[in-house]
A and B are shown apart, each in its own frame.
Chain A
């Protein structure tokens, strides 16, 4: 059994709290593990649902990610607990993407669903709300139409804010491949939105 005391203790209070919860979970305290779940389930679902734009599949992926994390508590190697959980969920999401590739189905039909639209406030301008909704729909559709690898790279870099090296570590590819996926993915997005860019420039 690895000993967390041998991992460098962070000055960051959030990381310190996470490490304490993780250590307690390792010693068999389920409540501590569930505290971690509660802390990160929204962020992890947001990450995964952008990679696998299907709510039910994304929920299954996140659940499987937490199962896997619990099974492998002893293999945590220090560092950020959030990054460790993200890595597990990203791997699970990529496995799901691979499985989808083997059994091609309608690519993410539920993107037309209202749950993907920004919430409209009471005082919101209806015209602006409509533009925002259209923009969201167009971007979601474009994101869903690029390759899984490009989408994962863009989500991790542009949306989640991980750097090249962290993404390379998470996805198990070289730094050069990560850069290429990000850059080509952006260009692919823009090509798919050619003619609709006015929605975004306004």
Chain B
């Protein structure tokens, strides 16, 4: 009910917006809200009484006596020495000021860069890893049987900075199959393909067991750098929050 008329039954007072009536004594109520509140007070005697009571209480609150302060709050020289601003506090103060135009964009930039780096380092390699393994092998770490026979194990090795899934691989087989591992390291072809080709050529090869492990060095450099940037960015946000919260 926005426009109550003068004949409005005060029994309907319970349905009226009491908060609006409470707002009417504010200096800052404007426009249509003020008109709506005024209409309620004019039309409903209970709203009018409420309005008068609230105004009376606001005045009474202003006039409430306050007990005298129990002591003096001046600082002694010892207090001052103890509280003297340190370098860290000055730094926090500088970060917390509204004129600090650097820390926020810097924090945003670092976290964004770090997050992007983490995504670049993890998502594509995970996708490629999934594609490579599903094309030739079962999911990573799962053993497969090829023609039966000797157990084979395949693991990615460091080299050429390639992502783990396409890094040159070393095929560990029995002592007689050593050349297969060498081929994988030299040309940098995907391990799974290398393995597939070499083992397919095995005459009467038995059932090799294959496990693919990610290249730890290729991932870790980007992940560590990105992770560090991300953490530094978050730290800067936390520092800003601390400075604003406790910097007065």
Contact = CB atoms under 8 A, between A and B. Distances in A.
Q: Do A and B come from one complex?
A: yes
A116 B73 CA distance: 21
A4 interface: no
B19 A184 contact: yes
A67 B62 CA distance: 28
B94 A59 contact: no
B74 A38 contact: yes
Interface stretch (B6-14, B78-86, B150-158, B226-234): B78-86
B3 interface: no
Interface residues of A, number: 64
A158 B248 contact: no
A66 B69 CA distance: 14
Interface residues of B, number: 48
B19 A63 contact: no
A34 interface: yes
Interface stretch (B21-29, B118-126, B205-213, B216-224): B21-29
Contacts of A158: 58, 61-62
Interface string A10-51: 000000000000000000001001100110011001100110
A23 to B, nearest CB: 15
B197 interface: no
A56 interface: yes
Given A46-B66, A72-B85, A74-B85, A187 B71 contact: no
Contacts of B72: 41
A82 interface: no
A56 B70 contact: yes
A41 B61 contact: no
B65 interface: yes
Contacts of A189: 57, 61
A201 interface: yes
A135 B60 CA distance: 9
B242 to A, nearest CB: 12
Contacts of B98: 77
Given A1-B90, A143-B61, A182-B26, A59 B70 contact: yes
A163 interface: yes
A119 B64 CA distance: 11
Given A30-B75, A30-B80, A74-B93, A186 B57 contact: yes
A164 B30 CA distance: 13
B65 to A, nearest CB: 4
A50 B64 contact: yes
B28 A37 contact: no
A68 B28 CA distance: 32
Contacts of B56: 197, 200-201
A33 B75 contact: yes
A139 B60 contact: yes
Across the A-B interface, give the 3 residue pairs with the lowest CB-CB distance, nearest first. A72-B248, A75-B93, A115-B67
Interface of B: 18-19, 22-23, 25-28, 50, 52-54, 56-58, 60-62, 64-75, 77, 79-80, 83, 85, 89-90, 92-94, 96-99, 243, 246-248
Interface of A: 1-2, 30, 33-34, 37-38, 41-42, 45-46, 49-50, 55-56, 59, 62-63, 66-77, 84, 87-88, 113, 115-119, 135-136, 139-140, 143, 154-155, 157-159, 163-164, 179-180, 182-184, 186-187, 189-190, 193, 197, 200-201
19 contacts: A1-B90, A30-B77, A37-B75, A56-B70, A59-B71, A63-B73, A67-B75, A71-B89, A72-B85, A72-B246, A74-B94, A135-B60, A139-B60, A154-B61, A159-B61, A183-B23, A186-B25, A187-B54, A200-B57
